[in-house]
Amino acid sequence: MVATTDLLVEGRHFRRDWSGPADVGVKAAAQNLADVAAMGAHSRTLLVGIGCPADLPAQWVLDMIDGMVTECGRAGASIAGGDVTAADSVMLAITALGELDGLRPVTRAGARPGDMVAVNGRLGWSAAGLALLRTARADGPDPQIAALVTAHRRPQPPYTAGPAAARAGATAMIDVSDGLLADVGHIASASGVAIDLETASLQVDAALAAGARLLNADAMDWVLTGGEDHALVATFPAETTPPAGWQVIGAVRPGSGVTIDGSVRSGPAGWDHFR
Amino acid sequence: MVATTDLLVEGRHFRRDWSGPADVGVKAAAQNLADVAAMGAHSRTLLVGIGCPADLPAQWVLDMIDGMVTECGRAGASIAGGDVTAADSVMLAITALGELDGLRPVTRAGARPGDMVAVNGRLGWSAAGLALLRTARADGPDPQIAALVTAHRRPQPPYTAGPAAARAGATAMIDVSDGLLADVGHIASASGVAIDLETASLQVDAALAAGARLLNADAMDWVLTGGEDHALVATFPAETTPPAGWQVIGAVRPGSGVTIDGSVRSGPAGWDHFR
């Protein structure tokens, strides 16, 4: 079995004015279910600890749990139980338990020089949606803008891609929760290797481009440093073919650190929990 | 496997002025390890989520983890990993994973009329220690008083008694976290039975008596309603002999609710999380 746990705090990981209760439930479940997928496992069940003020409407909690159940359904998991306590603000403690079905767990530490780096899932959409919410540009008729905001509220990780990558021989894997550069950096440091990404293979799709136009922002910045979409990034031996849905975006080299088109990028790589 | 999770919030589940960091770690681990024991399993590992203000000294967290590791050692468990996030106050989210070694899990729902009710571990000590801390009577030369305060800060659940009870045929089991009456009541309602406790078999030991004298309190009240010692309470078929260390304190009857010497006790039965 594999197990993962996350602690989510209102005002820091979610805002009740920016996300409905079901959105919060979907997102809290998704980030843990994605962690299980990133080890090559499929999720079996969640444990859910809820801390909340005594005056929080019970319906908020029920709707939040409905969101969790919905997202668990996408991943083939259930909610087994949990804990409830009073607290000054809403907080969620999620533990996901998954099964490997005989496969070895894929960690961050197995990447080897010569491996390909590949991604499965969206990059930058959640960050774009957050930027739209922060600047009060989230509402409007443009379906591409609405899709970015929905991606922030309800990430949709590619759960089955994790076990598929494990079966295809992935040497290391992680889900993009802090940002592509930061999370690829976690693989690089845990594996003792360098990773070079190619911007030519990192797409800025139409929705991201629309969001960037509206906010006069750099869409590639969202792709490289935006977290919380929970795409999966894995390394595969050069002689293998990544499974369907995986797109090669770079290569593993001897050395350390992460480069883009051979150069070190300036600026923060992603989310710092105490910044 | 069995799994259990708890969410602990500073100011509600612990106070940093009443308990040192290692005490907090011991207690947080103990309450989860006891939950695993109460299912008849032995704990394998903990996952630990930590939320804390950015200005919390790192040494406080390291000492807290040391306490957790110490208590895990008593139970034969380890800490596998966890999560760290910033939060306004200290909060801990603990998940314990345990193994049943081929036994069926003992739940709260299996007690049958005719069963004996038995306890293993201390009752009332943690409540007495808390009362001493609340009234600033915790410091002094009396070793019995000091023992009660230590019991509040560092409960010592009888971990191996859980699997031993399961092997001996326990039909239901729970750990006393909310108070004896409250937790026996959880067995009664989950099993659809009544439970009668005999005060003659519930001991007020010398330490509890000393604490009660000092505070002019009712020691039996602590025994019946004090939580957080994490003693184990189990029901056993009448024809069995409970294992060593288990003391019979009552019997299961047809009906519902909890009585003491045949009568319903007035007043609260134990801890209400939103009171």
Say yes or no: B78 contacts chain A, CB-CB below 8 A. Answer: no
Q: Across residues B11-27, what is the average pLDDT?
A: 92
The pLDDT of residue A268 is 64
Backbone region of residue B208 per phi and psi (left: phi > 0; alpha: psi in -120 to 50; beta: other values): alpha
What is the Cα–Cα distance from B259 to B195, expressed in whole angstroms? 6
The pLDDT of residue A273 is 52
* More confident of the two residues A274 and B27: B27
Query: B88, A87: Cβ pair inside 8 Å?
Result: no
Beta-bridge partners for B151: none
Q: Which residue, among B114, B130, B65, B95, has the nearest Cα to A95 in the 3D structure?
A: B95
Give the nearest partner residue to B83 out of A1, A6, A97, using CB atoms: A6
- All CATH 3.30.1330.10 domain ranges of chain B, comma separated, are 2-99
What is the Cα–Cα distance from A219 to A217, expressed in whole angstroms? 6
Query: B273, A3: Cβ pair inside 8 Å?
Result: no
Say yes or no: B109 contacts chain A, CB-CB below 8 A. Answer: no
Query: B7, A80: Cβ pair inside 8 Å?
Result: no
Query: B85, A48: Cβ pair inside 8 Å?
Result: no
Q: Is the pLDDT of residue B268 over 90?
A: no
A266 pLDDT tier (thresholds 50, 70, 90): confident
Q: Across residues A104-113, what is the average pLDDT?
A: 97
Residues of A within 8 A of B13 (CB-CB) are 85
- pLDDT mean across residues, chain A: 94
The pLDDT of residue B274 is 53
Say yes or no: A109 contacts chain B, CB-CB below 8 A. Answer: no
- All CATH 3.90.650.10 domain ranges of chain A, comma separated, are 116-260
Give Cβ neighbours of residue A259 (< 8 Å, ≥ 6 apart).
A194, A195, A196, A197, A265
Check whether domain B2-99 has CATH 3.90.1150.10, yes or no: no
- b/e map of A121-136 (b: 16 or more CB within 10 Å)? bbbbbbbbbbbbbeee
Query: A7, B80: Cβ pair inside 8 Å?
Result: no
Each residue of A224-239: pLDDT tens digit? 999 999 999 999 999 9
Each residue of A46-99: pLDDT tens digit? 999 999 999 999 999 999 999 999 999 999 999 999 999 999 889 999 999 999
Helix ranges (H only) for chain A are 21-37, 58-75, 125-134, 143-153, 161-167, 180-191, 206-215, 219-225
What is the Cα–Cα distance from B190 to B103, expressed in whole angstroms? 21
The pLDDT of residue A245 is 96
Q: Which residue, among A2, A65, A63, A66, has the nearest Cα to A34 in the 3D structure?
A: A2
Say yes or no: B91 contacts chain A, CB-CB below 8 A. Answer: yes
The pLDDT of residue B108 is 97
A275 pLDDT tier (thresholds 50, 70, 90): very low
β-strands A78-86, A42-52 pairing: parallel
Backbone region of residue B172 per phi and psi (left: phi > 0; alpha: psi in -120 to 50; beta: other values): beta
Q: Is the pLDDT of residue B275 over 50?
A: no
Q: Across residues B195-207, what is the average pLDDT?
A: 94
The pLDDT of residue A47 is 98
Angle between helices B21-37 and B143-153 (to 10 degrees): 70
Give Cβ neighbours of residue B68 (< 8 Å, ≥ 6 apart).
B25, B26, B28, B29, B46, B48, B79
B269 pLDDT tier (thresholds 50, 70, 90): low
The pLDDT of residue B18 is 86
Question: CA–CA distance from A258 to each of A190, A191, A225, B176 (Å)?
Answer: 12, 12, 12, 52
Give the nearest partner residue to B86 out of A12, A84, A93, using CB atoms: A12
CB pairs under 8 A between A and B: 103
**What value, to the nearest 5°, has the Cα angle with vertex A90 and ends A84 and A95?**
55
What tokens does B22 get? 């290692």
What is the Cα–Cα distance from A12 to B222, expressed in whole angstroms? 40
Query: A47, B4: Cβ pair inside 8 Å?
Result: yes
Please name the helix (run of DSSP H) or strand (run of DSSP E) that holds residue A117, with its range, or none: strand A116-120
At the topology level of CATH, where does A116-260 sit?
Phosphoribosyl-aminoimidazole Synthetase; Chain A, domain 2 (3.90.650)
The C-alpha of B200 sits at a distance from chain A's nearest C-alpha, in angstroms, of 34
Q: Does the global pTM surpass 0.90?
A: no
Say yes or no: A244 contacts chain B, CB-CB below 8 A. Answer: no
- The complex scores an ipTM of 0.84
Question: Quick check: A111 and A188 in contact, CB under 8 A?
Answer: yes
